Structure 1
Amino acid sequence: MRVLAAMSGGVDSAVAAARAVEAGHDVVGVHLALSRMPGTLRTGSRGCCTIEDSMDAQRAANALGIPYYVWDFSERFKLDVVDDFVAEYTAGRTPNPCMRCNERIKFAALLEKALALGFDAVCTGHYADIRTDASGRRELHRAAAWAKDQSYVLGVLTAEQLAHAMFPLGATPSKQEVRAEAAARGLSVAAKPDSHDICFIPDGDTRGWLADRLGETPGEIVERDGTVVGEHRGAHGYTIGQRKGLAIGRPAADGKPRFVLEIHPKQNRVVVGPREALEVSELAGSRYTWAGAAPEAPHEEFDCDVQIRAHADPVPAVAVVRDGELVLTPREPLGGVAPGQTAVVYVGTRVLGQCTIDRTVSAVPQPAS
């Protein structure tokens, strides 16, 4: 097969490309230039898609003896990921930019261009597994090493995208093995630290980054009954479940710590309450997709597990498509679920699908006003 290996400049994508070459595929490496500041330098494990990452990817491609190119996707990345991130926070939601990047850049824009150029598959260094069912249809499954499993951020992939995806690291039992393999192959990225945080906010200061773009507009912090307990500098600087940085001027009447429960951007208001009020009994989203074949009867309730964060534990739930939404009811209430987050649905190790959460139902009744 002709395989396009997406090479981020990290050890995972380099080893994935090496395994594709070793498997006998005709491999071409490509680095996606996503930053609008191509001279940006990397700081330890913070940031990615920098000029240093591009050079690391090229060194790896040279060591593997494969052609290497840099494709400028910075404009598409700004529109589909960065601008979406800002718009979601403006709307009082908590987005996951990694999901949008995988959905719209790595497995939409990149795959579209790869297929147009005659490639059969796109290879990445994600820790996930692709299996084929009895009917020959491809399914997305968790990686062998659950500690490194990245199937959650791939939950947005469709059947068509899975048909052209390749994840050579899916069966690898540990990251240590990948690093050892990179060292044995003479790849200079063998000891390179993993990147973390949001790639376009390398210093990790999301609130400051948003304030620079959206400004600061003071507003009220209120209890669920409407009692004003403090003031904020901009509702977009808060996320559901946040405790630190609330600057509430006086203790709550019940003496319990306060957490962000709701964000109302139109009123520029942040609602806070006790931890137990974060628990939700239902979550739903109209923007849902299936990763491979859809359930046989999605309009009938079925058992599943739901995961709401990349590193969260999956929890048992009941799912159903109703009134244009994928509705998920966890067997036990879930805490800290925010609109804008992604709920990924599993059946066993298989990723069945996902939805962007539009609404939640609180497990704790609203107090009478």
Structure 2
Amino acid sequence: MPLDPALNSLGLPKPPSETRVVVAMSGGVDSSVVAAQLAEEGYDVVGVTLQLYDHGAALAKKGACCAGRDIHDARRVAETMGFPHYVLDYENTFREAVIDEFADSYLAGATPVPCIRCNERVKFKDLLNTARDLDADCMATGHYIQRKMGDLGAELHQAADAARDQSYFLFSTTKEQLDYLRFPLGHLHSKAETRALAQRYGLSVADKPDSQDICFVPNGNYAAVIEKLRPGAAEPGEIVDPNGHVLGVHKGVIHYTIGQRRGLGIGGLADPLYVVKLDVDKRQVVVGPKEMLATRRVPLREVNWLGDDGLTDMAEREIAVKVRSTRPPIPAILRPISQTEAEVELMVAEEGVSPGQACVFYAPDDSRVLGGGWIWRGR
């Protein structure tokens, strides 16, 4: 709650009843609780669910984000709490801005993170603009991340619950977007608290399981989706060692990721081997010992900087970074090259750093998110 009594719980200077909030509703428990909580507090809530693809098509899976069941669940929550709910058709936008790039990046040997692009190009861009068109004062989501007011404006901070923190997927949020966004769940210390709130509001989604996969990738099978999107993409080739010696054959580079050990089909060797490089042009999967995965220098592009000063104001600065969503931040040095490019030097080498993934920046001494960038070429 804000300290200034003149502000409401969303930090705006008027009563909740005069404050319109668009809530991005996926049909899951998190965004449903946000909408229900704000409605109970008396805000003028408008729920919006995006239909991102045809939920009857082969790409979608039962229970996927924004598929048919989720649209139904979001609508039911709106009916329960008594606020309007709209479904917007964003299929073309989602395919062009997220799915096509996902397929092309994968074909190029990268390991893309489409959830970041969806937040960046769809939810926090087109949907945010729609919220403004609806005369909303702000847009709220169910993401586990915190928005705090600093001396120079709104800041992005990690969630109170480290196990639920989604800051890795929101690093590209701009300062302008952050002024308009709200994240009411970021202060909670466990998912159990969220589900307890859902029970208290009588929501039908209180016990709904969390989605574990990318919404348009059934059962986490990336390769199957790529083959549907890009027929003929799974061309066979050679599995080679770093010196080019052929160790076996594969059924397509798209079936492999950097750091992969299992399922290589080259058993019988004395030491375990890992995928250390994907050579798309030669259709080769390069394998080597684990130490070849170690990386300290990470080149970045499309950098988004959320610090108080300018990115290039300093030649280098100490920060902490995540190169994978599931790992804690580690010490690093950030060296800007331009307003959108930089290099990160990790103090301790990380394994399996791959082009297409994100490198997210954090303040070294607190929970603040300072932005991040996209890893764009091999070690």
| TM-score, normalised by the number of residues in structure 2 | 0.89
**Is 1:301 aligned with 2:319?**
no
- Are the counterparts in 1 of residues 55 and 68 from structure 2 also a CA contact under 8 Å? no
Shift of 1:47: 2.2
One-letter code aligned to 1:224? P
Which secondary structure state, in structure 2, belongs to the residue aligned with residue 111 of structure 1? helix
CA deviation vs aligned residue, 1:236-275 (integer Å, no higher than 9, x gap)? 2211111122112651xxx221111111111111111111
Match of 1:320 in 2: 335
C-alpha distance in structure 1 between counterparts of 2:201 and 2:351, whole Å = 45
Shift of 1:38: 4.8
Shift of 1:25: 2.5
- Are the counterparts in 2 of residues 6 and 31 from structure 1 also a CA contact under 8 Å? yes
Which secondary structure state, in structure 2, belongs to the residue aligned with residue 210 of structure 1? helix
Match of 2:119 in 1: 102
Match of 1:262 in 2: 277
C-alpha distance in structure 2 between counterparts of 1:27 and 1:292, whole Å = 32
One-letter code aligned to 1:195? S
One-letter code aligned to 1:322? I
Unaligned regions of 5+ residues in structure 1, if any?
Answer: 362-369
Shift of 1:198: 1.3
Shift of 1:299: 4.1
Match of 2:371 in 1: 353
Q: Matches of residues 22-33 of structure 1 in structure 2 within 5 Å?
A: 22-33=40-51
Match of 2:79 in 1: 62
Match of 1:367 in 2: none
**Is 1:53 aligned with 2:61?**
no
Shift of 1:235: 1.3
Match of 1:343 in 2: 359
CA deviation vs aligned residue, 1:280-332 (integer Å, no higher than 9, x gap)? 01101121112364546554211111102222111111111026622111110
Which secondary structure state, in structure 1, belongs to the residue aligned with residue 260 of structure 2? coil
- Are the counterparts in 2 of residues 280 and 360 from structure 1 also a CA contact under 8 Å? no
1:227 corresponds to which of 240, 245, 265: 245
C-alpha distance in structure 2 between counterparts of 1:268 and 1:6, whole Å = 41
C-alpha distance in structure 2 between counterparts of 1:220 and 1:318, whole Å = 37
- Structure 1 residues 207 and 39 mapped into 2: Cα distance closer, same or farther (>3 Å)? closer
One-letter code aligned to 2:26? S
Identity between Structure 1 and Structure 2 (%): 43
Which secondary structure state, in structure 2, belongs to the residue aligned with residue 107 of structure 1? helix
Match of 1:75 in 2: 92
Runs of 4+ in structure 1 deviating by more than 6 angstroms, as ranges, are none
Shift of 1:192: 0.4
- Structure 1 residues 308 and 298 mapped into 2: Cα distance closer, same or farther (>3 Å)? farther
Match of 1:277 in 2: 292
Match of 1:111 in 2: 128
Shift of 1:68: 0.6
Unaligned regions of 5+ residues in structure 2, if any?
Answer: 1-18
- Are the counterparts in 1 of residues 305 and 311 from structure 2 also a CA contact under 8 Å? no
Q: Matches of residues 229-248 of structure 1 in structure 2 within 5 Å?
A: 229-248=247-266
CA deviation vs aligned residue, 1:209-248 (integer Å, no higher than 9, x gap)? 2233342211111111111111111112211111122112
Match of 1:15 in 2: 33
C-alpha distance in structure 2 between counterparts of 1:55 and 1:228, whole Å = 52
Which secondary structure state, in structure 1, belongs to the residue aligned with residue 156 of structure 2? strand
- Structure 1 residues 114 and 294 mapped into 2: Cα distance closer, same or farther (>3 Å)? farther
**Is 1:184 aligned with 2:200?**
yes
Which secondary structure state, in structure 1, belongs to the residue aligned with residue 53 of structure 2? coil
Which secondary structure state, in structure 2, belongs to the residue aligned with residue 198 of structure 1? coil
- Are the counterparts in 2 of residues 294 and 352 from structure 1 also a CA contact under 8 Å? no
Shift of 1:16: 0.9
Which secondary structure state, in structure 1, belongs to the residue aligned with residue 244 of structure 2? coil
**Is 1:3 aligned with 2:18?**
no
Which secondary structure state, in structure 2, belongs to the residue aligned with residue 286 of structure 1? strand
C-alpha distance in structure 2 between counterparts of 1:111 and 1:293, whole Å = 24
- What do you get for the CA RMSD once the two structures are aligned? 1.8
> Which has the larger displacement, 171-180 or 241-250?
241-250
State the aligned residue count: 355
Q: Matches of residues 191-206 of structure 1 in structure 2 within 5 Å?
A: 191-206=207-222
C-alpha distance in structure 2 between counterparts of 1:203 and 1:167, whole Å = 29
- Structure 1 residues 320 and 355 mapped into 2: Cα distance closer, same or farther (>3 Å)? same
1:120 corresponds to which of 128, 137, 156: 137
